[in-house]
Amino acid sequence: MAAAGRPGPGGVPAVPVASGHSIPVLGLGTSHRGGYSHGAVVHALQKCGIRHIDTAKRYGCEPLLQRAIRESGVKREDLWITTKLWLSDYGYENAKKACLESCERLGVEYLDLYLIHWPDAQVRGKSNREVRAETWRAMEELYEKGLCKSIGVSNFLISHLEQLKEDCVITPHVNQVEYHPFQRPQELVDYCRSRDIVFEGYCPLAKGEALTHPTVIELAKKYGRTPAQICIRWSIQNGIVTIPKSTKAERIEENCKVFDFTIAEEDVEILNGMHDGRHVSWDPTFIE
């Protein structure tokens, strides 16, 4: 099932979130790895129709994004801005304070989406479950006050989500997890859908590893597209809100040109069959 919906600002389709808002199916990641490019972010906003920016306190670029967004001239209400709470700020009071600080660095009065970045809390004397529950209660309060329009988690597996379900009131609106042809956690995707949790995928190109795979290259030739466009389009057609990252304007432009073609169902299945369980990012499997 394709992630689809009515085009939002910038012309990118958006999907509904349980919070009552709609998230663009294609975003721009701004991970600290590989650096940060002011010009590329401005170009993405001004020329590519990008209206979904994904960042995190850990990436260290929230203040830089404030400047890029301001320079782009795109209205705040037309943007979907996601940032994430790093584990050094977990806990009830810490989380609330960290959210306000992220808003200040980004130059915004509210966040469209705030995520708990990682399930491992690393707090001495407390279990991960205890700290996650305490932190999530702060997230619920931030949501109820309107400081965060939607709240969610990142890198959470079914076990982590089940614990949160038992310990807290509000179901996360979004779960952002690694997703690419080699890492397609379908059981987790199905679980999220059954609970009305939007599944977001990061690293759709497997940090470049998917771009040199013979199957991806073959399909790129078949459709007259680039390997990156095949991976991103495949992810979107699988119903995943997809967040590629690049610091090059021309690459971002390429990554955005994925709404004028469709991969045939049999070719989607070929790409689905490439799953081998490998991670190119963090693996949360062993976190209790």
Model pLDDT, residue 1 = 41
Q: Is 168 inside any structural domain?
A: yes
Compute the average pLDDT of residues 21-29: 97
For 158, the enclosing helix (H) or strand (E) is helix 158-167
Model pLDDT, residue 35 = 77
The structure's pTM equals 0.95
Q: Is 147 inside any structural domain?
A: yes
Model pLDDT, residue 10 = 64
Q: Tell me if 123 sits within 8 A of 95, measured CB to CB.
A: no
12 or 132: which carries more pLDDT confidence? 132
Q: Is 280 inside any structural domain?
A: no
Q: Is 67 inside any structural domain?
A: yes
Please count the structural domains in the chain. 1
Indicate the pLDDT class of residue 31, thresholds 50, 70 and 90.
confident
Q: What letter represents residue 157's amino acid?
A: L
What would the pLDDT profile of 34-58 be if each residue is shown by its tens digit?
Answer: 679 999 999 999 999 999 999 999 9
59 is catalytic: yes
Q: What letter represents residue 215's amino acid?
A: T
Model pLDDT, residue 11 = 78
Percent of the chain's residues with pLDDT above 90: 92
Q: Is 285 inside any structural domain?
A: no
Q: Tell me if 46 sits within 8 A of 74, measured CB to CB.
A: yes
What would the pLDDT profile of 55-107 be if each residue is shown by its tens digit?
Answer: 999 999 999 999 999 999 999 999 999 999 999 999 999 999 999 999 999 99
Segments forming the whole domain that contains residue 167: 9-272
Query: Residue 156 above 70 pLDDT?
Result: yes
Say how far apart CA 181 and CA 14 lie, in whole Å: 22
Q: What CATH number does residue 254 fall under?
A: 3.20.20.100
Indicate the pLDDT class of residue 3, thresholds 50, 70 and 90.
very low
Strand blocks (E) in 127-260: 151-154, 174-178, 198-202, 241-243
What would the pLDDT profile of 186-206 be if each residue is shown by its tens digit?
Answer: 999 999 999 999 999 999 999
* 3-state helix vs strand vs coil in the chain, percent to 5: 45, 15, 40
Q: Is 216 inside any structural domain?
A: yes
Q: Which residue has the tokens 């304070």?
A: 97
Q: Is 100 inside any structural domain?
A: yes
Q: Is 186 inside any structural domain?
A: yes
Compute the average pLDDT of residues 215-244: 98
Query: Residue 157 above 90 pLDDT?
Result: yes
Could you tell me how far CA 82 lies from the centroid of its own chain?
A: 8
Say how far apart CA 230 and CA 100 lie, in whole Å: 38
Say how far apart CA 157 and CA 177 lie, in whole Å: 9
Model pLDDT, residue 4 = 52
Could you tell me how far CA 51 lies from the centroid of its own chain?
A: 13
Instruction: Give the active site residue among 59, 90, 114, 202.
Output: 59
Query: Residue 6 above 70 pLDDT?
Result: no
What 3-state DSSP class applies to 76?
A: helix
- Residues linked to residue 13 through DSSP beta bridges, in sequence order: 7
Question: Which residues are known binding-site members?
Answer: 117
